Every structure is written in C-alpha cells, then in structure tokens.
C-alpha cells in the first residue's frame, strides 16, 4: 500500500476479525497460543491473501469518513476502533 504501513494492515485485519488488543499484539509478535501466522488467519477469515486484503483496504480507505487528528490537527480518512471513554483511535489512516 502506498502510504500505509504493513503492520497497520495487519492490525486492521485482526481487529476486523474481532481480536482484542492483547490478541493483536500476541499474533503480530508471534507470542501467545496462536500457532497461525497473519497470512493464514486472513485467508481463513476473508478468503484472500494479505496482498489482496491490502488492496481492498486501500481502495476502501478513501471512502471512510474524514476525521481530525487530535495529534496533528490534520484531516484523515481512517479506519478507526473504539477505545475507553467513548474515544476512537485510527488503525489505518491517510491524509484526506
């Protein structure tokens, strides 16, 4: 993907599968009880390989709502997830 990091796409896929923060960290770092790599998990869940998932995510990213970054003040299109206190954090983002 052009401006998106490999690990961001990994996180997006895992959060889309319903994994928790802890599970995402364990899978990406090859820790914990999961004996499958990210590619296997993506294929089992979505029926595509990592590169195909990345291409779809990149295409859909420009259709996500624009959100203002609290850190930079810039507007980005972003896949987000909820965090405590009714906040949100970007998983994958690109400048709008």
Q: Is the pLDDT of residue 76 over 90?
A: yes
Q: What is the pLDDT of residues 17-62, one digit of tens each?
A: 999 999 999 999 988 777 888 999 999 999 999 999 999 999 999 9
Q: Where are the beta strands (DSSP E) in 11-96?
A: 66-68, 75-83, 87-95
**pLDDT mean over 2-23:** 92
Q: In this structure, what token pair is assigned to residue 18?
A: 């319903």
Model's pTM, two decimal places? 0.87
The domain locations on the chain are 6-95
Dist CA 85 CA 78 (whole Å): 19
State phi, psi for 35 to the nearest 5 degrees.
Answer: -100, 10
Strand partners, 69: none
Say how far apart CA 90 and CA 30 lie, in whole Å.
23
* 33 or 12, which is more confident: 12
């Amino acid at each position: 993907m052009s401006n998106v990091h490999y690990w961001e796409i990994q996180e997006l896929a895992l959060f889309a599968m319903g994994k928790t923060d802890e599970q995402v960290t364990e899978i990406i770092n090859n820790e914990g009880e999961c004996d499958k790599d990210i590619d296997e998990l993506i294929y089992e869940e979505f029926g595509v390989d990592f590169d195909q998932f990345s291409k779809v995510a990149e295409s859909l990213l420009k259709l996500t709502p624009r959100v203002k970054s609290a850190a930079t003040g810039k507007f980005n299109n972003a896949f987000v997830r909820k965090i405590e206190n009714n906040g949100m954090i970007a998983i994958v983002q690109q400048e709008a």
